[in-house]
Structure 1
Amino acid sequence: MIRLNRRPLRGAVSALAACLATLVAGAVQPAVAASADPDGERVILQTPAGDLSGVALDGVRAFKGVPYAAPPVGPGRWRPPAPAPQWTGLRDARAFGPACVQPTPRVQTIYSADLGRTSEDCLTLNIWTPSHAETAPVIVWIHGGALVAGSSRETLYDGSRLAAEGVVVVSINYRLGVLGYLAHPALSAESPDGVSGNYGLMDQIAALKWVQRNIAAFGGDPRNVTIAGESAGGLSVMYLMASPPARGLFAKAIAQSAYMISTPELKTARYGMPSAEDAGSRLARTLQAPSPRALRSLDAQTLTDAAALAGFSPFGAVDGKLLPGQLVDVFDRGDQAPVPILAGFNSGEVRSLKMLAPPTPSSPTDYERTIRGRYGDLADAFLALYPSSDMGESILATTRDALYGWTSERLVRSQTALGQPSFLYYFDHGYPAADAAGLHGFHASELPFMFGMLTRTPPLWPKVPDTAPEKGLSDAMVTYWTAFARDGAPGGAAGVSWPAYGDARRFMRFDTTPHPAERLLPGMFELHDRTMCRRRASGAQPWNWNVGLASPILAAVAGAAPGDCG
């Protein structure tokens, strides 16, 4: 048994979206039950939160299922997270806690697997730390899953490899779906701030505060925390960057396959979406539970399944407190957290998410007619990027770029404008099993490589071959990501330096090996930024999955150049 007595340092939305939320319940993001903990030497650690018993193996200590907030059950449902009770004695931290309640899966995908037990008592986190860490950089990982599904216990998120490279890794659970993002006028009336919804975001902030208070006991530096996430985890990273209550809780950000979509406003219908409170009221009527008391009396799993079937789509709500404005507005004003960023996306994002793309028209003529009718004076630019000569690929690329590509480049441009080091990547890697399944560079396929977990993928995931080139690419990505967490710059893994985005619009391309380049997909960012600007100017159109063939008719911008946000 190893006993450590280190004293902690002190101080320093749309129908398509609803369809997605239903399909991804336990499916779109990796949802893998944890395997049995490996044998290791027992380790005892004293922390401000209490004494913990974990395991040490191969130079890495792991502590799992550690509560960072009180269970949000009973009267605590749909309230801000309360402090976790201080435990007495020694807490066993060798096993993951349950996942947060999420809809019962109804489909099988490459991401599907057994999550194990779920519970409302789920506000826990896991820590992997180098055995002799002292003021090590910290990565706080926020799982994806459309804010509907997923868990910090997913095997892809095992932090042991990153910890072996000198980083403390923390993975967190947060409330999901209707339990995490329901807004309702009566719930707002209960709040001293007059707001509701955003409970999952509040959980993430509470976890970051726990890290600030406790991570020094694990050898981490609370002044050098990087928030990181993929897909809805990347969306959460942007929410945290925009959220005033999260300011100062992190020093860097990593957003992988994030999407800067429009989001409901708490009390006002805008951008073609009902207010978050109205959406919540409609759901409550559908569930025949019109009051908070009635809603809190419902079984959590029954409620969650019913809400998903009713089309409830969880998103952060612009409430003036947690989220002061639409993400595009906050970032345009430069009011987001002024921190270095690493952001990027994958070449085949939509190959595994084809429910996000509209059907292919019957002919190239129909394709061009539809695009010209919807995009007007922007149609020529659209068709140059997404031609009718290969409609299937163009449709996939349109959705990929409008969601993930545009967002990634907007993030690095925004942080560059604040004078912050900013780094863009494009993951275009394929391997035999993925390519044979038509999944080259699919959504989340970078995760096994950047976590160094090539053998810890879900059961139906295309298996990564056990070859030197695959391991070499993974080693390089692990080195880049940990260097960014340490220094705010990814450095030069495998002898290849990753340049900042800058005026030359540089990025790192990951295919068989990493190599730098300039001007990713020329014209892509400009087209989709113009599209967003016109929708925002109209005040009546959302910007999310309704792109390309599914786009509303775009209005021209009077008195401005095409796409000028004014």
Structure 2
Amino acid sequence: MAALAASMAACGSMASARPAPQSDPLVVAAPAGTVRGRAEGDIRAFKGIPYAAPPVGEGRWRPPVPLAPWTGVRNAAQFGPACIQPTPGPPHIYSQDLGATSEDCLTLNIWSQTSAQAAPVIVWIHGGSLVAGSSKERLYDGARLASEGVVVVSINYRLGVLGYLAHPDLSAESPAALSGNYGIMDQIQALTWVQQNIAAFGGDPANVTIAGESAGGLSVIYLMTSPYARGLFARAIVQSGYMISTPELKQARFGMPSAEEAGATLTRRLQLPSLRAMRATDPQVLTDQAAMAGFLPFGTVDGMILPGQMVDVFDQGRQAPVPVLAGFNSGEIRSLRMLAPPVPGSAADYERVIRDRYGDMADDYLRLYPSSDMAESILAATRDALYGWTSERLVRSQTALGQAGYLYLFDHGYPAADAAGLHAFHASELPYMFGNPDRTPPRWPRVPDTAEEVALSDTMLDYWISFARDGRPQLQDSAWPAYGTEGHFMTFDGGARPGVGLFPGMFDLHEQSMCRRRMAGNAPWNWNVGLMSPKLAEGPGGCSR
């Protein structure tokens, strides 16, 4: 990362010039500088700690720059601002007030026990489609996990156009001739900060697990493919991640323009003729205008930060050789219906389109997603192509690499969610694995305060902590076998039930679909599945069946 930074900065603020007594457990002298946290029950919380210089002014669209150590004692009792994100539109299930936002947002938060020493570390990467979200969301409070003996870190990273814009002029000014991926580089810089500082907070830098859900899960996969993140983590947790096709920096491929071309098109639409004009634009205005213009933030395959398409890196065995825990929710698309096509007027119409798009694969498709219940089939197909296939591909790939892979399906419902048609919806596992069922967003179906819900939360929390501790999610009374050659998985549906062979035929169908698109080179593999699928080539064409 240092080779990519244009300059080094020595900046930081201090809340007090007087040295604090080191006997105070809320004061930690780390290599980055001394911070004063706050007590939250039996846990120490340190919030809003900067891990890089503010990416503002000329720092916009540049790699993160490490901070020089500050002097004095920095107040770390309050969260830093969320990163700039689009002005909220109509409310939805995930809506919440994140408070202040700023372009100066590269901060992290730490929860740990006072007595923690060489404890396992979980670094949480928030979701939000790489567009929205924040490390300070109530749902991500790390106190409950920390109470079980881990050190929890949550991080902010640049979002939207500020975090993922690639552009020919940005590449031209870069010493590495690259642009884009600033949000990913932020995550790498945060992990570097953790390596250098977490021991002071009681964590073990050699035992770091990166974890994330949705776009956070995508970020974990990006980090698993990036050589610049190698050695910064020992394990990975991917919840509802998606191994989609990714724009390439210079070349149009898979039905997508190059990332530079997409960036140039955006700045022309916004009438920003130069880097000076781009950097002078108000960050909130720029973010809102880019979102309205249809800019979609993704990582960029640049041959360096992201060396290749994720599927290629994993197929070649070039990903991080670490154990992985990965899974998805049975009702992912129930709260993400914009990803699914409308239900056709008849079963005959449904089958006609599927046979036209899938050809020799149509029988397999219709066996998994029959026309007898088109609405449910559409939801399931979209879910599986994005989240189910990705989860199983991850554990298969790590198994082939000689690492353990653990697969799960979250299929738990509760009265308020089920009554709203949201059984096991996208992200609904988070209150359970964080142990925060009472800290959900205001429009979230209320999780009941019952012994059964607490028991499920305790079980999931214990599995996640066990995996972070030694790479094996094992409890004394409920073994979770590795995926292995038999296809083991765990279902969480009010309890924890091991099984073998999740959704038989699901992985093979979507792997074949992805492979044919990759071979043809003219269509992405993401949520354009089923009725929205491009017409696939007949026969395997180099893809095994």
Spell out, residue by residue over 1:77-124, the C-alpha distance to the aligned partner (whole angstroms, 9 max, x if none): 000001124322111100000000000111211110111000000000
Question: Where do 1:411-430 residues align within 5 Å?
Answer: 411-430=394-413
- What is residue 403 of structure 1 aligned with on the other side? 386
Q: Distance in 2 between matches of 1:392 and 1:244?
A: 42
- What is residue 433 of structure 1 aligned with on the other side? 416
Q: CA deviation at 1:58?
A: 3.0
Equivalent residues of 2:40, 2:143 under 8 A apart: no
Spell out, residue by residue over 1:260-292, the C-alpha distance to the aligned partner (whole angstroms, 9 max, x if none): 000100000000000000000000000100221
- What is residue 498 of structure 2 aligned with on the other side? 516
Residue number among 15, 28, 50 corresponding to 1:45 in the alignment: 28
Residue number among 233, 236, 245 corresponding to 1:253 in the alignment: 236
2:457 aligned with 1:474? yes
Unaligned runs of 5+ in 1: 7-40
The TM-score with structure 2 as length reference comes to 0.95
Q: Distance in 1 between matches of 2:538 and 2:22?
A: 66
2:192 aligned with 1:209? yes
Equivalent residues of 2:31, 2:69 under 8 A apart: no
2:508 aligned with 1:497? no
Q: Distance in 1 between matches of 2:42 and 2:539?
A: 59
2:377 aligned with 1:394? yes
Q: Distance in 2 between matches of 1:553 and 1:411?
A: 26
Number of residues of Structure 1 aligned to a counterpart in Structure 2: 527
2:289 aligned with 1:309? no
- What is residue 9 of structure 1 aligned with on the other side? none
- What is residue 344 of structure 2 aligned with on the other side? 361
Spell out, residue by residue over 1:405-450, the C-alpha distance to the aligned partner (whole angstroms, 9 max, x if none): 0000000000000111110000000000000000000000000000
- What is residue 31 of structure 1 aligned with on the other side? none
The letter for the 1-side match of 2:243 is M
The letter for the 1-side match of 2:104 is D
Spell out, residue by residue over 1:317-372, the C-alpha distance to the aligned partner (whole angstroms, 9 max, x if none): 00000000000000000000000000000000000000000011000000000000
Residue number among 113, 116, 120 corresponding to 1:133 in the alignment: 116
2:509 aligned with 1:527? yes
Q: Aligned with 1:497: secondary structure?
A: coil
Residue number among 498, 512, 518 corresponding to 1:536 in the alignment: 518
Q: Aligned with 2:350: secondary structure?
A: helix
Spell out, residue by residue over 1:473-520, the C-alpha distance to the aligned partner (whole angstroms, 9 max, x if none): 000001000000001001116x11111000110000000100100000
The TM-score with structure 1 as length reference comes to 0.92
2:257 aligned with 1:277? no
Q: Aligned with 1:253: secondary structure?
A: strand
- What is residue 267 of structure 1 aligned with on the other side? 250
Residue number among 64, 73, 76 corresponding to 2:56 in the alignment: 73
The letter for the 2-side match of 1:157 is Y
Q: CA deviation at 1:4?
A: 7.5
Q: CA deviation at 1:42?
A: 7.6
The letter for the 1-side match of 2:544 is D
Q: CA deviation at 1:45?
A: 1.2
Q: Aligned with 1:111: secondary structure?
A: coil
RMSD across aligned positions (CA):
1.3
The letter for the 2-side match of 1:534 is R
Q: Distance in 2 between matches of 1:556 and 1:244?
A: 36
- What is residue 368 of structure 2 aligned with on the other side? 385
Q: Distance in 1 between matches of 2:63 and 2:540?
A: 44
Q: Distance in 2 between matches of 1:58 and 1:559?
A: 60
Equivalent residues of 1:56, 1:131 under 8 A apart: no
Equivalent residues of 1:271, 1:536 under 8 A apart: yes
Equivalent residues of 2:516, 2:540 under 8 A apart: no
- What is residue 133 of structure 2 aligned with on the other side? 150
Q: Distance in 1 between matches of 2:501 and 2:322?
A: 23
Q: Aligned with 1:144: secondary structure?
A: coil
- What is residue 18 of structure 1 aligned with on the other side? none
Q: CA deviation at 1:44?
A: 1.2
2:533 aligned with 1:551? yes
Residue number among 422, 434, 443 corresponding to 1:460 in the alignment: 443
Equivalent residues of 1:55, 1:61 under 8 A apart: yes
Spell out, residue by residue over 1:6-65, the C-alpha distance to the aligned partner (whole angstroms, 9 max, x if none): 9xxxxxxxxxxxxxxxxxxxxxxxxxxxxxxxxxx9811111111111112332110000
2:489 aligned with 1:507? yes
Q: Flag the 1:4–1:525 CA change in 2: closer, same or farther, 3 A.
A: farther
Q: Aligned with 1:492: secondary structure?
A: coil
- What is residue 466 of structure 2 aligned with on the other side? 483
Q: Distance in 1 between matches of 2:94 and 2:194?
A: 29
Q: Aligned with 1:80: secondary structure?
A: coil
Residue number among 317, 326, 330 corresponding to 1:343 in the alignment: 326
Q: CA deviation at 1:5?
A: 4.0
- What is residue 305 of structure 2 aligned with on the other side? 322
Q: Aligned with 2:35: secondary structure?
A: strand
The letter for the 2-side match of 1:471 is V
- What is residue 69 of structure 2 aligned with on the other side? 86
Equivalent residues of 1:242, 1:324 under 8 A apart: yes
Equivalent residues of 1:185, 1:281 under 8 A apart: yes
Equivalent residues of 1:148, 1:176 under 8 A apart: yes
Q: Aligned with 1:516: secondary structure?
A: strand
- What is residue 183 of structure 1 aligned with on the other side? 166
Question: Where do 1:188-203 residues align within 5 Å?
Answer: 188-203=171-186
- What is residue 227 of structure 1 aligned with on the other side? 210
Could you tell me the percent identity over the aligned residues?
A: 70
Equivalent residues of 1:195, 1:319 under 8 A apart: yes
